[in-house]
Each structure stands twice: as structure tokens, then as C-alpha cells.
Chain A
Amino acid sequence: MFTEKVANKRLTDEEFFRIRREEVLSQWETGKDIENLQECIAAAKELSEGKNHALRFLEAKRNGTFILIPQFGRALTEYMIEGITYVESETGLVPDGAWNLYSDSYTRKKEFRKAAAGIERSRKEGMSMLNGWPIVNFGVEEARKITKASKLPLHFVTCDEDARLASEIALAAGWTANSVTSLQECISHSTTITLADEIRLMQYDARLAARYQEGGVPQCPWNTSHLTGYDSPGYHSFVHVSEAVLAAEQGVKCQFLSHGIGMNLLQDIAMIRVSEKLCYEYCARMGYEGVEFVAGVFPFLGAWPPRDDESNAMIAWNAAIPALGGFPGMILKCQDEAFATPTKEGMARSVRLARHMLTVMGSQRIPESAALRQEEAMIELEVRTLLEKCLEIGDGDMAVGLCKGVAAGWVDTMVTPWRHNPGKVLLVRDAQGAVRYLDAGNVPLPAEVKQYHLAKIAERESRDGRKANMDMVVEDLQFASKLP
């Protein structure tokens, strides 16, 4: 698709509109309904009044409150509206909530013809035959019906390599957050796309969000590190900061940092603090003024237990971590997900569970401690080393450095389907359940960090009376999913 080299450089108006015309709006017939960008921005401004993602999230951050974010996606618009209004009215989600709305697998792969067949079948059989809402097939007018039906900010999850048309439709409908990632998308869902190509696709999504922002509709794209579910905290933070810089270059002013977590309280909180701190620091250092970040937690992405009771324990613990860390965004998973796509009743149950966690936990936060400070320091050292190496090798250009880092093998994680990932890294859990490098591969860990990880692994080895090895790595992959 692309031939020229990637660079962390803002798209010119000329480039943006050429891509929009030639590559984006032409992907499917609903593209023609959003040809006039000015009109779309004006409409989005009106539609998102009172339920703007960026404004709500920044407000929660200022006030120290939480936003509960259930997730939902169904084949037909009427099912979407039914589910959204049900959860909003049955659980008291309004006003401290937001929606994470996702499309179906076909839409994510741009197989719009198949999605169209799924819509037909859903209509015929009277039930949802797709695992999400096919936003591109339905187009902007249908998306606006959903905006009007909800009282909350809407985020459109774009877990796809090329979600540019979906982003266009979502933002034109007054949804005020798309997803702007890069390495995240490759590691999570891709097999063959190159990082350079993915960055270029995402630069468009970022520039699009920035245009809405500049047109008076504040935007809060999601900068995510959901990854595989089996990644080191340092890698998570590194992904966030690099993505923050790339989005900021395109003019994005507010980003939601959706962290995949390892479910170790101390380590997860340390990781998120480091991400937020370094996102601010690196953006400022690179000359992007006034960019805001709001942190949040996405439920564990590794294997889940295949039974309701154990799933509920997971949901509760996943809510406890952002609560104790004081991170405003709490994305919710639903117990149905072990077997099927979430139902509206299941989602309502998760909202009630999380809300009650907040009630009983009150204003308890994690106390500051030497252990927490040390964990933060170690992660920060790892992430800084990676970021500096990127900038050095990329000659100040984060995009170039990132691509070179993957190619050279020192930007690395494990268990990803992405072919370009070096795949040398091995991670195990320590005696407290924190994630440690058993083998850092070619990741340039400072000696101090490497020693720290090995010492922590040694504690587990002596506790368990056996050496950490590949078997232990495999066991740990299933640490949360095994039933007794």
C-alpha cells in the first residue's frame, strides 16, 4: 500500500484530503454521506453537547472521581439502542459513565460485504449474528441515532489495522473518541502489516481527531496498550509514550491511556504512573504544548476462567486496581465473555459490581511505600532507556526509531501473532505475582533493572523450590484461567 518511508510528521491539509478522498471515503458507499467535513464537524458539535469524552474525563481527573466504561456491540442499531438505554437506566451509569462501542470482526477487517450479509441474517433470524455493530455498513445517520439515544460520551473501538472510514463515521456522528495507536494494533491483532504502514494509517486517524478538536469538538482518542495480555509493564508504558508522541504531532490535545494490566496491584499502579508521567514529559520535551492525559485500566487480556464465579472475582479485582490507583477510567468486562459476546443484562451486572466496589472502597488509595517507589523507578528506567534509544536511532524521530527498534529486535514482547515481532522475550511472575523478564532477549534493559528482575525471580524460585524455566512461563500464561 505504501512505498515512501514513515516519519513522525503532521499530515498537510493537501495530504489529508487526498487520502480522505482516494483511500478512505471510497472504501464503502456510506463514505459519500460524510464528504463535507465542515458539515460533519458542525453536526458532531451539536450532537456531542453535554456528553463530550474529553471534557468529562478531564473533569473526573480534576475531581478525583471515576468513570465506568461498559463495552457493547450488536449487529443492528435497534439492539445497540436497546442495550445502551437498558444499562443507562437500570444501573445509574449516568452521569459517571461512558461507552466503549465496538464493531464486528468483518468490519475490523474491512470485509463490508460480509458484514452486510450478517446484517441481513440478523434481521431474518431476529437475533444478533455479528459480534459487534457494523458501523461502516450503517453509516453516519444510523450512528447518530445511537448518539441521540445515549446520555454518555461514546468511544468507538477501532481494533483494526485500517479503521479510517469507521473513525470518520463515528466522529461525524458525534462520538468523541476514536482509537489512535500503532504498535498496539500490530501486537494485538495483526500478522503481516509493517509497523511503518500501521503508523501511517494511524496518523490519519489522529489527524482526523485533531481536526474535530480544532473545529470546536474536543476529542479524546484512546491511546491503548492492550497488547497480548502477556507483556512487561515497561513495554506497556513504552507503547503509550511512543503513541502519545505520534498522536500529539498530528495535533491531538487529549488522550485516554487505556492500560492492559497484569493484575499485580503494585506493579500495575507503578506502570500507569510511569506512563502518565512520561507521556507529559516527552510531549512537552518534543514541543507539543498543552496535551492532556487521562489514565485508565482495561480488564486483563490474558486467558480468563471459564466459569461465572471465578470471572466475577476477576471483574472485581480489575475494578479494584484503578480504584486504589486513583485512575479515572475503569473499563468493564462482562462475565458472558467467556462464552459469548456480552449481553445487556451481563453488562448491567458488571456496572453494578464495579459501582459497589467503588462504594465500599470509598476514598481508600494505595499508600505510598518504598516498594511502590522502587517498582516505579525500575519501570521508569526501562522505559526511558527504550525511548532514548528510539530517539537516538531515529535521529529525533519517534516513528523512525520505533520501526528500527522492532527491526533490530530490541523492541520486543511475547505471544503475539505479529510476524515482525522478534519474539525473544520470556516473562514469568515473581513471588508476589509481578511480571518479570526471565529472558529479556535484545531489550536494552539497564543492568540495574535486569538485576532487579532476576532477584525477584530468585525469590519465587526459592519459595517454590524449583528453577524458573519454560514450564513456569507456560504455567504463568494460564495463572488466571485455571479452575481448581
Chain B
Amino acid sequence: MQAADKHIVIGTIGSDAHMIGAWVLQKGLAAAGFGVTLLGAAVPQEEFVNAAIETHADAILVSSLYGMGILDCEGLRDKCVEAGLKNILLYAGGNVAAPLELQSNWPEIEKRFTEMGFNRVYRNTVTVNEVVAALKSDLGIDS
């Protein structure tokens, strides 16, 4: 299996207009050989799911930089299941939670995202290479 056979949908979720995280991922994943669809900023959950259906995506990468990530990501897995994407990978990253106690308590945030059906969640310090490595391992790509 090769990266070129895999397609990834990327965007910034909710009412968040920040572009940087999604843009960097798009460039990095494309350079690593993945097929990438960039949905831009302020993308609703439905649009992620619909784009994933259209592009036959293997993963949805959600960027959130304004601190409302948990709320914005809640329910995305359910929608994927209903839309026939039961096994699609879901990653989230950025400033995914705002309340200080949550931001300083990373295991709790990871737990919340796991409960919401996300496969991985990253802080805003994550590098493209880490994400590429995780995707390759989760998708069974030989590197």
C-alpha cells in the first residue's frame, strides 16, 4: 500500500477562520504523496463528511485553533458512521480546548477525543512529519 492510494480531507472546523494549521498539513501531506482535499476555514461537520464520501477519503484531519474544538468535533464520528465511513480515521489538532484547566490537562483532552471517536488528537506544536508518520502507521503504508 502506498501513500498515493490514500486520500485525506483537511479543514478548519466550526466558526474558526484560522488557516495556518490546515494549510501546512495540506502541503506536508501532499509532499508525502497523499491525495489531499483542502476544505479551507470555517467548515461545518457535514461538509467534512460529504467531502470524505466524494473523495473516498481514508482520513479526516480537523484543525481547530480558537479553543472550541471539543464542541465543534462532537458528533462527527456519528455522522461518519451514518454516512458509511465507519472506519475512517479522525484526527484533530491545534488549540482544541480553551479552558485553562483542560489545556493544562492533556490526558483529559485525549480521553475526551477518544470518547468522541477520534483516533488521534494533537497539540498545536505537532509537526507535519509526526502526522505523516501516524497516518502511515494507521493506514498500513510502508515507509
So, do A and B actually touch in the complex, CB under 8 Å? yes
Instruction: State whether the Cβ of A474 lies closer than 8 Å to any Cβ in chain B.
Output: yes
A451: interface (CB < 8 Å): no
Known A189-B17, A303-B20, A470-B128; judge A419-B27 contact (CB<8 A): no
Complex interface: stretch among A199-207, A316-324, A409-417: A409-417
List of A residues within 8 angstroms of B42 by Cβ: 191, 417
A417 and B17 form a contact (CB under 8 A)? yes
Given contacts A191-B40, A191-B41, A474-B128, contact A417 B27 (CB under 8 A): no
B24 interfacial contact with A, CB 8 Å = yes
Residues of A within 8 A of B141 (CB): none
- CB-CB nearest in chain B for A189: B17
- B28 and A474: CB pair below 8 A? yes
With contacts A189-B17, A470-B28, A470-B128 taken as known, whether A414 is within 8 angstroms of B23 at the C-beta atoms is yes
Task: List, in ascending order, chain A residues with CB within 8 A of B20's CB.
Answer: 303, 415, 477
Among A39-93, those with CB < 8 Å from B are none
Interface mask (A389-427 → B, CB under 8 Å = 1, otherwise 0) = 000000000000000000000000011111100010010
Check if B24 sits within 8 Å of A228, measured CB to CB. Answer: no
Q: Is A415 a contact of B23 with CB atoms below 8 Å?
A: yes
The answer to whether B17 touches A477 (Cβ under 8 A) is no
CA distance A191 to B44 in the complex (A): 13
The reply to whether the CB of B31 lies closer than 8 angstroms to some CB of chain A is yes
B28-65: which residues lie under 8 A (CB-CB) from chain A?
A: 28, 31, 38, 40-42
CB distance from A470 to the nearest CB of B (A): 5
Pick from B17, B19, B24, B41: contact of A474, CB under 8 Å: B24
Check B19–A417 contact: CB distance below 8 A: yes
A473 at the interface (CB under 8 A from B): yes
Expressed in whole angstroms, the minimum distance between the Cβ of B31 and any Cβ of chain A is: 5
- Chain B hits for A414, CB < 8 A: 23
A228 & B19 in contact (Cβ 8 Å cutoff): yes
Q: In whole angstroms, what is the CA distance A189 to B31 when docked?
A: 26
Closest chain B residue to A303, Cβ basis: B20
- B41–A470 contact, CB under 8 A? no
Chain B contacts of A423 at CB under 8 A?
A: 38
Chain A residues, Cβ within 8 Å of B23? 414-415
Assembly CA distance A95 to B125 (angstroms): 45
Contacts of A303 in B (CB 8 A): 20
User: In whole angstroms, how far apart are the Cα atoms of A426 and B27 in the complex?
Assistant: 10
User: Does the CB pair A470–B17 fall under 8 Å?
Assistant: no
Interface residues in A, total, Cβ within 8 A: 17
Contact with B along A468-484 (1 / 0, CB 8 A): 00110110010000000
Query: Are the CB atoms of A419 and B28 closer together than 8 Å?
Result: no
Cβ-defined partner of A473 (8 Å) among B12, B17, B19, B27: B27
- CA separation between A351 and B12, bound complex, in Å? 35
B23 to chain A, nearest CB (A): 5
Q: Are B41 and A417 in contact (CB under 8 A)?
A: yes
Minimal beta-carbon separation of B44 from chain A (angstroms): 12
Q: Which residues of A contact B12 (CB under 8 A)?
A: 417
Residue in A228, A419, A477 whose CB lies within 8 Å of B40: A419
CA distance A415 to B12 in the complex (A): 12
Measured between C-beta atoms, what is the minimum distance from A226 to chain B in Å? 14
A164 to chain B, nearest CB (A): 22
Q: How far is the CB of B59 from chain A (nearest CB, A)?
A: 19
Q: For the complex formed, measure the closest distance between the CB of B109 and the CB atoms of chain A, giving whole angstroms.
A: 19
Q: For B24, list chain A residues within 8 Å (CB).
A: 474, 477
In the complex the two chains form, what is the Cα distance from A228 to B24 in whole Å? Answer: 14
Which single residue of chain A is at the shortest CB-CB distance from B38?
A423
Complex alpha-carbon distance, A342 and B44, angstroms: 29
Please, how many angstroms separate the alpha-carbon atoms of A18 and B75 in the complex? 46
B93 to nearest A CB, angstroms? 14
- Complex CA gap A406/B128 in Å reads 28
Query: Which residue on chain B has the smallest CB distance to residue A188?
Result: B17
Which B residues touch A477, using CB under 8 A? 20, 24
Contact assessment for B19 and A470 in the assembled complex, using a CB-CB cutoff below 8 Å: no
CA A415 to CA B127, docked complex, whole Å: 17
A416 and B19 contact, Cβ closer than 8 Å, known pairs A191-B40, A191-B42, A474-B128: yes
Residues of B within 8 A of A416 (CB): 19
Contacts of B40 in A (CB 8 A): 191, 417-419
Measured CA separation A415–B21 after assembly (Å): 9
Q: In the bound complex, how far is the Cα of B27 from the Cα of A303, in angstroms?
A: 18
Kindly state the separation between the CA atoms of A426 and B28 in the bound complex, as whole angstroms.
12
Which chain A residue lies CB-closest to B43? A191
B32 to chain A, nearest CB (A): 10
Interfacial chain A residues near B28, Cβ < 8 Å: 470, 474
When C-beta atoms are compared, the residue in chain A nearest to B129 turns out to be A471
Q: List 20 A-B contacts (CB under 8 A).
A: A189-B17, A191-B41, A191-B42, A228-B19, A415-B20, A415-B23, A417-B12, A417-B19, A417-B40, A417-B41, A417-B42, A419-B40, A423-B38, A426-B27, A470-B28, A470-B128, A474-B24, A474-B127, A474-B128, A477-B20
The 7 A-B residue pairs with the shortest CB-CB distance, nearest first, are A417-B41, A417-B40, A415-B23, A191-B40, A417-B19, A474-B24, A415-B19
- Add 20 more A-B contacts to A189-B17, A191-B42 (CB < 8 A): A191-B40, A228-B19, A303-B20, A415-B19, A415-B20, A416-B19, A417-B12, A417-B17, A417-B41, A417-B42, A423-B38, A470-B27, A470-B28, A470-B31, A470-B128, A471-B128, A474-B27, A474-B28, A474-B127, A477-B20
